Amino acid sequence: WYCNIYGYLSIHITMDLTRDQVELIILLCLVYITWGLTDSIQAPFYPLEAEEKGASSTESGPVFGIIYLAMFLFGPVFGHYMPRLGVKYVFIFGVLGTAICACLFGFLGYFPTKWSFLGTSYGLRFLTGVAEAGAWSSILTIIAAVFQDRVTFVYSLTQGAFGFAEILGPSIGGILFEVGDFILPFEISGGLCLVIGIIAIWRLPKLVGSSFCKSSITSDSSSTSQSSLSSFKEMLSDSRVLLALFGTVFGAVCQGFIETYLETYLDIFGLSVSQIGVSFLAMSVPYMLATPLWGWLADTKLLPELISPAGNILIFCSFLLIGPASYLPLEPNLFLTEIGLGVLGVGTAATLTATFALAQKQALHAVHCTSDEAQSVVSGLWTSAFSFGSFLGPTIGGSLVDWLGFTGATAILQGWSAVMLIIDVFVLCSKLGRQSGLELKNKGNWERDLYQRIE
């Protein structure tokens, strides 16, 4: 199966990539699939298990979001120390840590008391977030270094794979839970993550290059640390990087909010569990399909500065239909909600792809550090921003839903998308103005050179 996919991609899709690059893309996508499964496989049955232990939904709910809090906190840490630790070793830590934590999570069913069950759940999910922060940062650094001309497209493929796994995770988890109780889903997903991870670790030096995988610590480690700190400060002081990270937070907030509170809203339609699951697919499948398309466009056809406002326009329009918005004279309609979810999936795919491309593009223009160091830092910052949004959406969204209702909360997100659109237009106009000025300057230089040659 692996060889068949490898041969198909080599012949039909990526004629301009080497065989090693094609294999690397496949391995990275498989790794992201295993992470998507470990993150989402517990969704249908963990609340039930927690309830049997005596835990309320308020007590067990943070278990789902704490992984993103850990990624938010440790993403910049791994990005900062990546040049010293080495990409390979951070990747090994992330892959093995994620797999081990997933396997250990399956034994929580044997904990008899509520707080031993919840406390260990919080601890393992937090450690999983730390491991995934390192793994995500290392993979984004690898992608930026190996696929310099196709960074956004390859990134979008990995995110599409991750989204695909998150779609299948709850369904697979429910089936495995019925077959083997609480432990089986985690041992299957954790074991799969371990096997794929070991294969990726074994092949990584061959596919990426042993010199790139090694730590950049030399005899002068203090200068390496100082250079890494300089790149971190430079990226954080760049307003364009900060705007890209802000857009990343917004896209992740939209996803996290809908994934957490859509089920509660759909209760008004009297849907069954399977019908609610199909409603989630209305957003997830378009996101999975649109992400590689936006990535390809960002690398070949369109500027990321154009893709980002397109995504925010789609998000704005989607919240007109989901609910619909509280200020519209429309009654809740399931068909319109499903259409809105599909538009939201395409819009968030555009926003997240564009912000990643914009952040990586700014890393290439770093002045006080090498491009590799800047890309490592930006990868960590982008991971942190995405994780913060994924944590913020369910956390703040709960208060908004209690205060304003679901449709009132979506109106707040719609207003946020309008603000992001205004910022995007300002950034686009600034870029076009700089390009026009540069063209005029180059034209003036060319005329002066011509006069000198005539003289």
Tell whether omega for the bond before 304 is within 30 degrees of 0, i.e. cis.
no
Report d(CA 157, CA 155) in Å as an integer. Answer: 5
> Which pLDDT value is given to residue 168?
75
Tell me which residue of 170, 173, 363 sits closest to 284, measured CA to CA. 170
Give the contacts of 281 (CB within 8 A, at least 6 positions apart): 167
> Which pLDDT value is given to residue 156?
84
pLDDT in tens, the chain (455 residues): 444 444 444 444 444 778 888 999 999 999 999 998 888 888 777 877 888 888 876 677 778 778 888 988 888 888 778 778 888 889 999 999 999 999 999 999 888 888 999 999 999 999 999 999 899 888 888 887 888 778 778 888 888 888 778 777 777 887 888 888 889 999 999 999 999 999 999 988 888 876 555 554 333 444 444 555 555 666 666 777 888 889 999 998 988 888 777 777 887 888 765 677 677 778 888 888 898 899 888 878 788 888 899 999 999 999 888 877 777 777 888 888 889 989 999 999 999 999 888 887 776 665 455 555 666 677 778 878 888 888 888 778 777 877 888 888 888 899 999 999 998 888 878 777 666 555 545 544 544 444 444 44
Report d(CA 419, CA 405) in Å as an integer. Answer: 22
> Which pLDDT value is given to residue 28?
92
End-to-end Cα spacing for the chain: 69
Report d(CA 306, CA 357) in Å as an integer. Answer: 12
> Which pLDDT value is given to residue 454?
40
Query: Looking at this protein, which amino acid is placed at residue 396?
Result: I
Report d(CA 395, CA 117) in Å as an integer. Answer: 22
Q: Is the dihedral of CA 353, 283, 129, 197 positive or negative?
A: negative
Report d(CA 75, CA 140) in Å as an integer. Answer: 11
> Which pLDDT value is given to residue 450?
40
CB neighbours of residue 202 within 10 Å: 10
> Which pLDDT value is given to residue 446?
43
**CA 331-336-337 angle, 5° bins:** 90
Under DSSP, the state recorded for 75 is H
> Which pLDDT value is given to residue 346?
93
Which ranges in 86-182 belong to alpha helices (H)?
A: 87-105, 114-146, 151-180
Report d(CA 77, CA 134) in Å as an integer. Answer: 9
> Which pLDDT value is given to residue 162?
85
Under DSSP, the state recorded for 9 is I
Report d(CA 25, CA 160) in Å as an integer. Answer: 12
Q: Per 3-state DSSP, what percentage of the chain is helix, strand, and coil (rounded to 5)?
A: 85, 0, 15
Under DSSP, the state recorded for 153 is H
Report d(CA 105, CA 360) in Å as an integer. Answer: 35
Tell me which residue of 324, 322, 357 sits closest to 343, measured CA to CA. 322
> Which pLDDT value is given to residue 102?
93
**Cβ pair 363, 378 in contact under 8 A:** yes
Q: Is the dihedral of CA 306, 246, 410, 262 positive or negative?
A: positive
> What predicted TM-score, i.e. pTM, was given to this entire model?
0.74
**Cβ pair 52, 65 in contact under 8 A:** no
**CA 414-418-421 angle, 5° bins:** 135
> Which pLDDT value is given to residue 311?
93
